[in-house]
């Protein structure tokens, strides 16, 4: 009877240091910081469960998850698990130069603000932010149309 229980024991799917995802947690990635393997036998039943102590890599939130809700994303050795899709990292976005249409829209908005409020955004300070914005957009527009 004891040999039967030894042959059918669960094996942990993740080790300490592995990166895992957890069901019901979306795209969040957790690092395994420990796990416990519980194995209980009584007169009628055999219970076996594996629980993982996890910490979120972005928020440092601690979590406890069982073996059935954990998927290994990357092993501690650094080699991704073969059956999971690779997480692609997007390239940083490069700021594009504004088009003439964008500059004309911006100029129209600035002129409407000047018509509604005058050249000053704050009358007490006499800051002339709106007038400066109109001049700045006109200069950009002149440069773009050369």
Indicate whether this model's pTM tops 0.75: no
Evaluate if residue 38 carries a pLDDT over 90: no
* DSSP-assigned states of every residue in 83-117: TSPPPPPPPPPPPPPPPHHHHHHHHHHHHHHHHHH
CB distance 27 to 12 below 8 Å:
no
Q: What are the Cα distances from residue 63, in Å, to 35, 70, 81?
A: 11, 12, 22
**Which sequence spans correspond to the domains of the chain?**
7-74, 100-144
DSSP H or E stretch at residue 129: helix 129-144
Q: What is the pLDDT of residues 69-106, one digit of tens each?
A: 999 998 877 554 554 455 565 666 677 788 888 888 88
Domain 7-74 fold is SH3 type barrels. (2.30.30)
Tell me the pLDDT tens digit for each residue of 6-21: 556 788 888 888 999 9
């Amino acid at each position: 009877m004891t040999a039967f229980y030894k042959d059918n024991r669960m094996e942990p799917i993740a080790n300490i240091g592995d990166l895992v995802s957890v069901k019901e947690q979306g795209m969040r990635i957790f690092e395994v910081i420990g796990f416990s393997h519980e194995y209980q036998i009584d007169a009628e039943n055999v219970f076996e469960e594996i629980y993982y102590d996890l910490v979120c890599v972005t928020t440092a939130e601690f979590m406890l998850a069982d073996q059935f809700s954990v998927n290994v994303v990357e092993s501690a050795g650094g080699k991704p698990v073969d059956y999971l899709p690779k997480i692609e990292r997007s390239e940083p976005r490069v700021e594009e130069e504004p088009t003439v249409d964008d500059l004309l829209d911006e100029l129209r908005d600035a002129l409407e603000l000047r018509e509604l409020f005058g050249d000053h955004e704050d009358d007490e300070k006499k800051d002339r932010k709106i007038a400066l914005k109109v001049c700045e957009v006109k200069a950009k527009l002149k440069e773009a149309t050369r």
